[in-house]
Amino acid sequence: MNITKSLRSAVLISGIALTTAFLSGCGGLSDAQLKELSDLKNEVASLETEANSLRDERAKLEAQIEDTNRKLAECEKQKEEAKANLEKLPK
């Protein structure tokens, strides 16, 4: 029984050691992978900057549309007032 217990312990310890060695050997990143990751980060930052720029441009365009619509509504109101005044004039 004592031999079985010590054999089981030895197998368990060597299994843990092999697993640790295997996982630590596979965990590293190569220089190419690090460069690719850096390039991807730069591309993401560039795309985020472009997206923010486009959002700002959209906000400006929406403000212009609102201003134009307000002016059109004002013109329409003046047109209706002028039309009503013209109808009031004697013929």
Domain ranges of the chain: 37-91
* pLDDT, tens digit (0-9, with 9 covering 90-100), for 75-90: 999 999 999 999 888 8
Per-residue pLDDT at 41: 95
Tell me what the mean pLDDT of segment 24-41 comes to. 82
pTM: 0.54
Q: What is the DSSP string of the chain?
A: -HHHHHHHHHHHHHHHHHHHHHHHHH----HHHHHHHHHHHHHHHHHHHHHHHHHHHHHHHHHHHHHHHHHHHHHHHHHHHHHHHHHHS--
Per-residue pLDDT at 7: 66
